[in-house]
Amino acid sequence: MNNRLNEILPVEDANTGRNPLTAGLNQGDIESNHPTTPHRGSMSSPSFMHDFFSQVETVKKYVKNIKHGCKEIQRISQDMMLATTAEAESKLSQELTPKIAAANDFVKKCKELLSTMRDETKEKSEAQLLNANEKRIRENLLNTLTRKFVDVTKEYQKRQEMYKEDVRKKVSRQIKIVKEDATEEEIDAIMQSEGGTGAVFK
């Protein structure tokens, strides 16, 4: 399985040496009962701040959907270990494929939206369209959202790796019942064959 984390997370800024999406990750908590988003009833808040808050909600939705994908991979992995027929294993593998595709899409969209939000905040700050409080709110929320995204992305990758390893162990045991001297290359070939459990993550 390819390491998707390197594709997902941005590289470090050449000037600062810091990752633009992971700087200052210790700010706030979007899942607490007291979110850092200010009251939206303020008439002085410009429209682009309301747009920003809408983007915050979208990112939170993406993170929630990625978390759901993690749970689904874990559930299917457990069911796969208990499956006793090739038909049941094939059905579970087919069930996993669209869930992986959906989660990958949410990861991509979330990463792109966070990048857009950070770029917009920088542009508006440089154009002096944000007062000090608005800039602080946006930066704090972005840092918190980014931390949540990084954490859930790592968990998502971990679940995929655990699933693949669990299934590989099971396939290896099954093959060696028939062919005791089966090589690792032969096991890998079966895993990556069309319809094979490992092919899901290509």
pLDDT one-digit tens code per residue, 101-118? 999 999 999 999 999 999
9-47 pLDDT, tens per residue?
A: 444 444 444 444 333 333 334 444 334 444 443 334 568
Cβ proximity of 200 and 96 under 8 Å: yes
Q: Are 137 and 121 in contact (CB under 8 A)?
A: no
For the chain, the straight-line distance linking the first and the last C-alpha, in angstroms and rounded, comes to 6
Q: What would the DSSP string read from start to end of 13-49?
A: PTTT-S-TTTTTTTS--TTSSS-SPPPTT-TTS-HHH
User: Considering all CA atoms of the chain, what is the largest pairwise distance in Å, rounded to the nearest integer?
Assistant: 74
Encode pLDDT of 58-91 as tens digits: 999 999 999 999 999 999 999 999 998 889 988 9
Q: What is the pLDDT of residue 154?
A: 98
Q: Please give the model's pTM, rounded to 2 decimal places.
A: 0.70
- Nearest alpha-carbon partner for 70 in 162, 147, 1: 162
Average pLDDT, the chain: 79
d(CA 103, CA 109) in angstroms, rounded, equals: 10
pLDDT (0 to 100) of residue 116: 98
What ranges do the domains of the chain cover? Answer: 62-160
168 or 132, greater pLDDT: 132
Closest CA to 54 of 104, 106, 116: 116
Nearest to 29 by CA among 117, 144, 138, 134: 144
The CATH class of 62-160 is mainly alpha
State the pLDDT at residue 200: 43
In the numeric block, which tokens belong to residue 195?
Answer: 């319809």
Q: What is the pLDDT of residues 173-198, one digit of tens each?
A: 888 788 778 788 887 787 777 555 44
- The one-letter amino acid code at 147 reads R
- Whole-number pLDDT of residue 186: 80
pLDDT for the residue numbered 195: 52
